[in-house]
């Protein structure tokens, strides 16, 4: 390895396939090998299901999108509302901007519910109707806090996260790479990603998992990894974007492997 390079390292990329391209390209530009293993599948809900849910909701004053998936799947259902738009983080804000709808509220720093809730624009929401566009499940912090502040909060689920499925051939290939020492670092963007990964990994990949370096932009992921006894060391990225993840991967790789790979 040369300084500032991932040369010789295999990085397991666990993001949904349609969202993995930027990180995959960044890893390979840094000299590493990206090994795609998307453990979460995003499935849009039926239009009839979404429309039925919308029919029972009050007219919104604020619509919050929790992810880029929420934007790409859910925007067309709410496009006719002229309301305040909020995005949980930069990727979600970028997805809104890409369709010509830059958000009115987005965290100045950070990329999660805590940072969005810290914005002054959401401090006084008493009497407001807030819609949260998301998957079928997720964290309750955003809704709970806004309700404490006096808002009426409704969920509009527009997709579901499913455990990905892989052929026996694909799992055998991953297991072979793992046992041959071709995978050196793991990335996990969410707790669901980490838990799905552990559920999907072939038996032969369980060996050494406790000592496999893990990089994530989420403190909650690293806390969950500690609870499960996986990942060593655990590295926190400054954010979920490719640039921040690459910086963390480089730092992790340098600490663990030095110039050995």
Mean pLDDT score, 184-192 = 96
Mean pLDDT score, 29-35 = 96
Chain length of the chain = 261
For the cut 80, the answer to whether the pLDDT of residue 4 exceeds it is: no
CA dihedral 124, 118, 100, 71 (to 10 degrees): -100
* pLDDT in the model for residue 159: 97
Measure CA of the first residue to CA of the last residue in the chain; give whole Å.
6
Mean pLDDT score, 122-138 = 96
Mean pLDDT score, 106-110 = 91
Mean pLDDT score, 170-184 = 95
> 214 with 237: CB under 8 angstroms?
no
For the cut 60, the answer to whether the pLDDT of residue 232 exceeds it is: yes
Find tokens 């060996």 and name the residue.
207
For the cut 50, the answer to whether the pLDDT of residue 166 exceeds it is: yes
Report the percentage of the chain scoring pLDDT > 70: 97
The CATH class for the domain spanning 10-39+164-257 reads alpha beta
Which band of pLDDT confidence, cut at 50, 70 and 90, is reported for residue 163?
very high
For the cut 80, the answer to whether the pLDDT of residue 259 exceeds it is: no
For the cut 80, the answer to whether the pLDDT of residue 261 exceeds it is: no
* pLDDT in the model for residue 2: 40
**Tens digits of per-residue pLDDT, 48-78?**
999 999 999 999 999 999 999 999 999 999 9
Residue 109 DSSP one-character state: S
In this chain, the answer to whether the domains covering 10-39+164-257 and 43-162 adopt an identical fold is yes
H helix runs in the chain, sequence order: 21-29, 47-55, 68-78, 90-98, 113-117, 141-148, 168-179, 191-200, 203-206, 219-228, 242-257
Mean pLDDT (the chain) is 94
**Whole-model pTM?**
0.88
- Count Cα neighbours of 42 within 13 Å in the Cβ-side half-sphere: 21
Task: Determine the topology of domain 43-162 in CATH.
Answer: Rossmann fold (3.40.50)
Domain ranges across the chain: 10-39+164-257, 43-162
Both structure tokens of 260: 């050995």
Residue 141 DSSP one-character state: H
């Amino acid at each position: 390895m040369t300084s500032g390079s991932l040369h010789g390292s295999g990085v397991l990329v666990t993001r949904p396939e349609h969202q993995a391209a930027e990180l995959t390209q960044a890893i390979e530009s840094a000299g590493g090998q990206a090994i795609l293993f998307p453990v979460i599948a995003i499935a849009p809900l039926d239009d009839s299901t979404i429309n039925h849910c919308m029919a029972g909701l009050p007219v919104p004053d604020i619509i919050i999108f929790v992810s880029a998936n929420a934007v790409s799947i859910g925007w067309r259902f709410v496009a006719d509302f002229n309301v305040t738009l909020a995005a949980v983080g930069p990727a979600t804000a970028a997805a809104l901007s890409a369709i010509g709808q830059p958000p009115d509220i987005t965290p100045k720093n950070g990329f999660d519910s805590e940072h969005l809730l810290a914005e002054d624009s959401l401090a006084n929401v008493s009497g407001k109707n807030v819609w949260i566009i998301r998957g079928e499940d997720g964290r309750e912090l955003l809704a709970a806090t806004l309700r404490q502040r006096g808002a009426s909060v409704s969920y509009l689920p527009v997709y579901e996260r499913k455990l990905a499925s892989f052929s026996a051939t694909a799992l055998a290939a991953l297991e072979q790479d793992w046992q041959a020492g071709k995978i050196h670092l793991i990335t996990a963007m969410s707790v669901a990603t980490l838990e799905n990964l552990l559920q999907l990994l072939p038996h032969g990949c369980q060996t050494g998992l406790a000592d496999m370096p893990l990089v994530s932009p989420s403190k909650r992921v690293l806390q969950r990894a500690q609870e499960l006894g996986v990942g060593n060391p655990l590295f926190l990225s400054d954010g979920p974007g490719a640039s921040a993840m690459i910086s963390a991967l480089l730092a992790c790789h340098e600490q663990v492997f030095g110039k050995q790979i």
